[in-house]
Chain A
Amino acid sequence: MSSVAIDLLLQAIPVAFVMFVVLNFGGLLTWVERKQSAIMQDRIGANRASIFGIRILGLLHPLADAVKMLTKEDFTPAHADRLMFKLAPFVSVFFGLAAFASIPFGDTLRILGREIQLQAVTLNVGILYVLAMISLGVYGLMMAGWASANNYALLGGQRAAALMISAEIAIGASIMGVVMVYGSLNMQDIARGQGQPLLPQLFGHWIPAWGILTQPLAFVLFLTAGIASTKRIPFDTPEGESEIIGYFVEYSGMKFGMFAMADFLETVVIAGMTTALFLGGWQVPYLQPSGFVFPWGATVPLPNPAVAGLQVVAFLVKVSVMIWFLMLIRWTLPRFRYDQAMRLGWLALFPLSVLNILITALVLLAPWRA
């Protein structure tokens, strides 16, 4: 095999891994949502779907859902714009899937004398790419609302657009603080930067400089705006399925399922972003490229594949915890009214993010740092 082919194959590993992880997380989230909400509410949750009497804690329900969605009537309203109507769910899912591409899930892995960045796409402007993908996702909703030839759907699409605009400004502005602290738009660099010790002259090498410690305000702002951009409760004004009716009223079958899937994918992306920017990304505390270096002096040397494996596991664990937290929020808070969501976005999140940028800049440029 030529070395080019090997290069290509090795490059395909991170891409395949990202697709595998994101799609499976997205699919599993329907189960997580059912079970976690049930446990939070002293219930049991869906557990009846079975194959030959085997239930495995209701894990077959996503499968049953998929079968149901695929076999339902795929209805298109008579006056709908057919192309746009069919395109909308695909646009929605595509940007949800694509957004994860530049989120790093590990440091460099060395096999066969080559270095692989554990990141599907190595981009110098990784953060901007993810932001763009998250923002573009709303086009699917607007297309769905417009193409359905239904005024309720159109209003839902408009609410989605308004919510997304008020959220994404806060997302972008809150991330700027992180970018300033770690000095890069490359998410791999930001993840590496979070392995540095926090204030070594004060704490020694005990505390790693994770984003949540260097940018606590940005963390809260980003998480709030991020939840808004997933358009799930408490920011589900675009959908409001129980009473105000959203952009997907006219959708049925798997197209409807794809909108639900897009929501879950966006939840995974927001969890991944939060992990990469604020929870140290793939960093394991005290794990350096050569192995564990503990602040009390002990060292445990590890080979490169073991280090990379630990980092990937750490990343997945952090993402899972973040997803758990997002689910906890989703099943605890009631929905914001439309105007409340707007007010929160424009009058609270946005000014506070600007304030955060100012404070960060002042601290970074402060004379005592020199």
Chain B
Amino acid sequence: MPPSYRTQNTPADPRHPSRLNLRQRFYLVEVLVGLALTAQHFFVNMWRHTLRVVFRSKTARGAVTIQYPDERRPYSPRLRSLHRLVRREDGSPRCVACMMCETVCPAHCIYIVATEHPNPEIEKVPERFDIDLGKCVFCGYCVEACPEDAIRMDTGILEFAAYDRRSMIYDKETLLALEPARPEGGPASPVPIPASRSPR
């Protein structure tokens, strides 16, 4: 190793043998210190596992693992998850097909076809409202842009993998059927299977 390279390292570089003291260079003591640390973890965790399994303790946890999908970490209330379309009292979409979300969407993943609403007080209603989740970047701009508070990203649903791209397109009926997440953040609706997904 050239001397210039050595000086580039920080003064306390532990890789440099001459900066190790005798005990560290002897290695065995340091090995025992390390083994004591890992063995301590082993025995503490084994004791906690024993408390949990044998003595049915509710609080003892021998591991930090969260066994997804059996266990889930609570989601933040601000989490942006799968979109849903908010319903009116009669179940029809609150959306008035103003195209704000489609316009603002940076991924161009929203596709709306507007039509007349039977109620003359409401101007328009979407005939189609498709979101291509294969393109969506979950920026939340659609939610911010909506003047009617008709689209939200609060379902708590994050698992919507599919076998092909077509199955990632969620239509109006699917999005309307979704419920907001439960207070602890878990999804209230089952993961939707969109109509476009063909049975395999």
Binding site for B on A (CB under 8 A): 36, 38-44, 220, 328-329, 331-333
Contact = CB atoms under 8 A, between A and B. Distances in A.
A197 to B, nearest CB: 29
Contacts of B28: 220
A39 B46 contact: yes
Contact of B41 (A42, A220, A333): A42
A332 B38 contact: yes
B12 interface: no
B137 interface: no
B45 A42 contact: yes
A44 B67 contact: yes
B183 interface: no
Contact of A44 (B31, B46, B63): B63
A42 B62 CA distance: 7
A95 to B, nearest CB: 28
6 A-B pairs with the lowest CB-CB distances in the bound complex, closest first = A332-B38, A44-B65, A44-B63, A39-B45, A40-B42, A40-B38
A329 B35 contact: yes
Given A39-B49, A40-B42, A220-B28, 17 more contacts: A38-B63, A39-B45, A39-B46, A39-B63, A40-B39, A42-B41, A43-B63, A43-B64, A44-B62, A44-B63, A44-B65, A44-B67, A328-B38, A328-B42, A329-B31, A331-B38, A333-B31
Which of A39, A44, A333 has the most C-beta atoms of chain B within 10 angstroms of its own C-beta?
A39
Interface of B: prevailing SS: helix
B120 to A, nearest CB: 59
Contacts of A38: 63
A332 B36 CA distance: 10
Interface residues of B, number: 17
B125 to A, nearest CB: 48
B192 interface: no
Nearest to B64: A42
Interface of B: 28, 31, 34-35, 37-39, 41-42, 45-46, 49, 62-65, 67
Contact of A42 (B31, B63, B67): B63
Nearest to A224: B28
A331 B39 CA distance: 10
A346 to B, nearest CB: 15
Contacts of A331: 38
Contact of A328 (B35, B45, B49): B35
B42 A39 contact: yes
A42 B34 CA distance: 16
17 contacts: A36-B42, A38-B63, A39-B41, A39-B49, A39-B63, A40-B38, A40-B39, A42-B63, A42-B65, A44-B62, A44-B65, A328-B38, A328-B39, A329-B31, A329-B35, A332-B34, A332-B37
Nearest to B34: A332
Nearest to A48: B67
Contacts of B41: 39-42
A36 to B, nearest CB: 7
A326 to B, nearest CB: 11
A38 B42 CA distance: 9
A36 B46 CA distance: 10
B1 to A, nearest CB: 13
